[in-house]
Amino acid sequence: MTSLPAKTEKKLGLVIDLDTCVGCQACVTNCKQWNTGGHMAPLTDLNAYAAEADGVWFNRVHTYEVTGSTACGASPARNSSSRTMHFPRSCLHCEKPDCVTVCPTGASYKRESDGIVLVNEDKCIGCKLCSWACPYGAREFDVFEGVMKKCTLCVDRIYNENLAEEDRVPACVLTCPTSARHFGDLGDPNSNVSKLVAARGGVDLMPEMGYAPTNKYLPPRARKDTAPAAMPAPELAPAPGGFLGWVDKLLSR
């Protein structure tokens, strides 16, 4: 069994905005192309051009319909009782991850410096205990290589001195077209990501499990689906004098 650091110096992680995610899969494929040549390369694809294609992906986006009046963002004034939600899913780099503590060899570990959860493939025996322990389904077993792989938070990008400074963020954050993904130190209350979480009421995923995920999700904002309160209702009452009256004012070209 593998022990966790008592505390980490930083809590690097992601903040994912469910209000603006359109499910475009940019973060998914950008993660794939970076990481298939990166720290845990390759992200093997089986049956790549046939039935039952099945590859290793560190980041996946699922689309759900959420129904009922309690659905995030749904409200009676919308023309549907449901809303479509796009939900990006990757390792949450938990503070208390069982995926690490169950590891019999020390292959899974949480870094004391930045809190990133990694796998040392040299020590991994492919027992998959970690994937059973992770309630988020974030572990990705490479069947062909027989080792467990997972999101590295782009540990080979975020400190990489060969990249321009502004590019030293995880690939998923770098590429997100709607700016729905943010990266930073969630252990620092003054960081941009911590402020964002505070301002938008960011939440933990399945907090009841007790893993204390580092990554946070920003819930959808309230929908603006009714007329502004200041507008007299109905504003569109016929104008004084009727149609002909208001057209007759003097208008210059």
Question: What does the alpha-carbon distance between residue 26 and residue 39 come to, in Å, rounded to a whole number?
Answer: 20
Smaller CB distance to another protein: residue 70 or 238? 238
Smallest gap, in angstroms, from Cβ of residue 34 to another protein? Answer: 6
Per CB under 8 A, 100 contacts another protein: no
Per CB under 8 A, 6 contacts another protein: no
Question: Token digits for 214?
Answer: 């580092």
Question: What does the alpha-carbon distance between residue 2 and residue 16 come to, in Å, rounded to a whole number?
Answer: 29
- Interacting residue with another protein among 124, 180, 186, 197 (CB under 8 A): 180
Calculate the alpha carbon distances from 222 to 18, 74, 200, 215, 219 in Å.
Answer: 12, 9, 11, 22, 9
Smallest gap, in angstroms, from Cβ of residue 88 to another protein? Answer: 12
Max intra-chain CA distance, the chain:
86
Which of these ranges, 97-105, 110-118, 186-194, 204-212, lies near another protein under the rule CB under 8 A? 110-118
Smallest gap, in angstroms, from Cβ of residue 136 to another protein? Answer: 19
Question: What does the alpha-carbon distance between residue 160 and residue 165 come to, in Å, rounded to a whole number?
Answer: 8
Question: What does the alpha-carbon distance between residue 129 and residue 101 come to, in Å, rounded to a whole number?
Answer: 10
Smaller CB distance to another protein: residue 6 or 48? 48
Per CB under 8 A, 186 contacts another protein: no
Smallest gap, in angstroms, from Cβ of residue 214 to another protein? Answer: 15
CB 99 within 8 A of CB 130: yes
Question: What does the alpha-carbon distance between residue 136 and residue 154 come to, in Å, rounded to a whole number?
Answer: 19
Per CB under 8 A, 161 contacts another protein: yes
Question: What does the alpha-carbon distance between residue 58 and residue 34 come to, in Å, rounded to a whole number?
Answer: 10
Question: What does the alpha-carbon distance between residue 178 and residue 51 come to, in Å, rounded to a whole number?
Answer: 32
Smallest gap, in angstroms, from Cβ of residue 31 to another protein? Answer: 8
Per CB under 8 A, 221 contacts another protein: yes
- Interacting residue with another protein among 108, 175, 214, 215 (CB under 8 A): 175
Site string for another protein, 59-78 (x = CB under 8 A): ----x-x-x---------xx
Smallest gap, in angstroms, from Cβ of residue 251 to another protein? Answer: 4
- Where in 120-159 is the site for another protein (CB under 8 A)? 120, 144, 155-156, 158-159
